[in-house]
Amino acid sequence: MIISVDLITSNIWTVILITIPILYFIYYRKFRIFIYDQPKKVTKGKIARGKCPPSYPNGKFSSSSIVGLANKKFLYHLGWFWLIDSCNLAPGGVRFINHCGRDVVVFRGHNGKPYVLEAYCAHMGGNLGVGGRVRDINCIECPFHGWVYDGETGTCVFSDGENRIPRRVDTFEYADLERCTPCSSANSKSTEYLQKIAENQEIKLKTYECRELNGSIFAWYHADENLRHKPLYELIDIQDEITRNTMEVRGESINYVNCHVQEIPENGSDVRHFDFLHESILDSISFVKFKWTPSAERATNPDLRQIMAHSNPSAHAYKMHLFDKFLTEDNVRYINVICLDCSIRFFDKYEIFLFNTTGFQIGPSIVYLFLWSPYFKLTLFHTLTPLEKFHQRVVHRIITSTWMPYWLSAAMLMGEVKQLYADMKIWNKKIFTEKLNYNTKNYADKCLHSYRNWYAQFYEGCYEREAKSLSW
C-alpha cells in the first residue's frame, strides 16, 4: 500500500488546524476562569484566627478619629505595597484605593507621573478619588467644591497654570461631638458647637512616596512620620533582566485568600510543606509527582552563597548573577531568599530535573521568583495586598521567553495557581499560632523560626484598636 506525500501533508495540516484552536481555547477559557471566577468561589467568613499580630504590618492608630465609621481600623505600615497596575491608570486618570487599612487617591498627572495622596478633601471630606479630576499638570480637584491639591506637596492651592498660591483657611472642630455638647464659655446657654483651633493657615493632605516599575504602581507606608518620605529600602526593578533574557509579560492570576497577612509570604520559607501540599501534578495520575528540594535563608547570612550553591554550573551562574545584581548593602536586611529545585518523579524511581528557582521576598508583600531550566527561563512576580482584616489579594504575574507559545505560558501559570489552591485550602481555615513548638535541630523548623523573627521587623511600633465612633 502506497500513501502519497500529499495525503500525509494534508493529514498533518488537518491535525495542526484542529490542535491550534483547541490549545487556544484551553489558554483563553481556562486562563480567564482562574482569574475571574475565583473570587466568587471563595467568600469571607468569620472564622477564629487565634491571637494574631496586627492585620497590617507596622500599623499605627491615627491620632484623629473619623466619626461614623464604626469598627474601622486606621493603620500605617512599613513597606512597599501594590496599588494598581500601570496600564489601568492613563494620564489624567484618577482612582480611589481602599486597602492596607487606609484610603488613598492615586492619579496620573498630565506629565505622566503618578501621585498618591490621602483620599479625603480637607474642606468637607469629599472623596478625591470619586469624581475628582486632574488639573494643571499634577494637581487634583475635589469634585465637591473644587478645592485643588498639588500632587507633589499635598498643599491646597489656587492654581492657574504654573502659578500656584497656597489657600489659607481657618480650622474648626467640634468641641464634643460624641455627646453633642456646645463649647464651654461664660455664657452657659452657648449654642456654638464648633470651636476655632487655628486661623489663616495653609492646609495639606498627606502625600505618599510612590514608585512605578515592573508594570505596577506601589506606595510606601511607615508608622513614623519622619520616615514616610524616606523608604528604608527600594523595590527591585527587573526590567533589565527581562530585556537581557528576551522575555515579556504574558498574564497574571488574581486570587483572594482569607487569612492573616503573614501566612501567605511565610509559605516560601516553610520548606517542609512542599512534600505534603505540592507533590501532586494531576490528582488523577498518582505515579507522576513533583519532587521539591527547598531551602530558605535571610539575605544577611554571610554564608548565603555557599548554602544556595547549585550543582548545575549554568543554574549556579544564573543564581550568582541574581545575587550580584539585586542584593545590596541597603536592602539585604529586608530580603529573605529561597532556593527551590523541582524534579518530576515517575513511579518513585526515575527523576527528571525540571527547574531551579531563586526567590527574593522583599519587605512584607512582594516576591520575585526567577526560574532557570535547561529548557526555558521564567520569572514570577508576586504581590500581596491586604484588602481587609484577614482578606488578602494575591497576584502572580508571569514573564516568559518571547519564543514560548502563549498556551504554554498560560498552562504554566495555571500550574502555579493550582499549587496556590492547595495552600488556600489550609490558609482559609487555619489560625495564626501565638505559641509555637519547633524542633530547632530540624532544618525545616529552623527556617520557620528564622522567618518569623525576620518578618516581625515589619510590625515594629505596631498596634491597633477600634476607632471611637457613633454606632448606628
CA–CA dist 440, 11 (Å, integer): 63
- Domain boundaries along the sequence of the chain: 79-167+203-221, 172-202, 235-459
Largest CA distance in the chain: 116
Task: Provide the CATH topology of domain 235-459.
Answer: Naphthalene 1,2-dioxygenase Alpha Subunit; Chain A, domain 1 (3.90.380)
CA–CA dist 457, 472 (Å, integer): 38
Inter-CA distances, 117 with 41, 106, 126, 219, Å:
34, 7, 13, 10
Inter-CA distances, 38 with 26, 47, 207, 257, 430, Å:
17, 20, 34, 10, 20
CA–CA dist 386, 81 (Å, integer): 9
SS3 (DSSP) at 403 = coil
- Residue with C-alpha cell 504554566? 412
Give per-residue pLDDT as tens, 236-284: 999 999 999 999 998 889 999 999 889 999 999 999 998 888 888 776 6
CA–CA dist 387, 252 (Å, integer): 18
- Under a CB-based contact definition with an 8 Å cutoff, are residues 327 and 299 in contact? yes
Give per-residue pLDDT as tens, 372-399: 999 889 999 999 999 888 899 999 999 9
- In a structure prediction context, what are the per-residue pLDDT tens digits for the chain, which is 472 residues long? 555 666 667 777 787 778 777 776 666 555 554 554 555 555 555 666 766 776 766 654 333 333 333 333 334 458 999 999 999 999 999 999 988 878 999 999 999 999 999 999 999 999 999 999 999 899 999 999 999 999 999 999 997 767 789 999 999 888 887 777 787 765 566 678 888 889 999 999 999 999 999 999 999 988 777 888 999 999 999 999 999 999 999 888 999 999 988 999 999 999 999 888 888 877 667 788 889 999 999 999 999 999 999 999 999 999 999 999 999 999 999 999 999 999 999 888 888 999 999 999 999 999 999 999 998 899 999 999 998 888 999 999 999 999 988 888 888 998 899 899 999 999 999 988 888 899 988 999 999 999 999 998 888 756 543 333 333 3
pTM of the model: 0.83
Q: CATH number of 79-167+203-221: 3.20.20.210, 2.102.10.10, 3.40.720.10, 3.40.50.720?
A: 2.102.10.10
